[in-house]
Chains A and B, each alone.
Chain A
Amino acid sequence: DAKTTQPTSMDCAEGRAANLPCNHSTISGNEYVYWYRQIHSQGPQYIIHGLKNNETNEMASLIITEDRKSSTLILPHATLRDTAVYYCIAPEAGYSTLTFGKGTMLLVSP
């Protein structure tokens, strides 16, 4: 897996956009970037993934830089329920083994 680097923690005000960065400078051309989150005491939840193009779904948007060395997960209108640890993962192409780092603890406050 490509090594990923994320900030340890971030704060966000409820209703504002949360922008979570991830560096993956060693990512290979065919390796996707996946984002998961884990709310306290629950199993991880898949959010979104992408290869080159920006992606959007009902949960979030994923912006990947042109050189693919970094990406940003955007929660457009954060709510208190978005408080969780967010993991950025770049698994080896063709494999579904996920290597979780420490992730970013996002705290959404009223």
Chain B
Amino acid sequence: DAGVTQSPTHLIKTRGQHVTLRCSPISGHKSVSWYQQVLGQGPQFIFQYYEKEERGRGNFPDRFSARQFPNYSSELNVNALLLGDSALYLCASSAAPYTGELFFGEGSRLTVL
């Protein structure tokens, strides 16, 4: 079975631009979470979606938004990019919204110039 897949794997943007990152969960998983990992730090929670509803939001500005589609895939959108948004963006899926057993993808590495 395929694991969590994310696209693109790498991308470069300039300040002020917009980016969309995509995630496909493990088949059968209905919960998707997004994390940001800046260099040298542990991943930081951004959003969780379950059954297309937002279930949790971390301490991130409104420039960050996400959604989940009927097939449980998800998109993370970041507007008005800042240099500080450069990071590895990780998507994780789980079978249920209340379990700490998450399955992470390999991430999308975003560089903002």
Q: Is the interface of B mostly helix, strand, loop or mixed?
A: loop
Q: Are A97 and B45 in contact (CB under 8 A)?
A: yes
* Residue B86 interfacial (CB < 8 Å): no
Instruction: Give Cα A100–Cα B107 distance, bound, in whole angstroms.
Output: 16
Q: Are B94 and A96 in contact (CB under 8 A)?
A: yes
Chain A positions within 8 Å of B, measured between CB atoms, are 32, 34, 42-46, 49, 85, 87, 89, 91, 94-103
- 23 A-B pairs with CB atoms under 8 Å apart are A34-B100, A42-B106, A42-B107, A43-B92, A43-B104, A43-B106, A43-B107, A44-B90, A44-B102, A44-B104, A46-B102, A49-B100, A87-B42, A89-B100, A96-B33, A96-B48, A96-B96, A96-B97, A96-B101, A98-B35, A100-B35, A102-B41, A102-B42
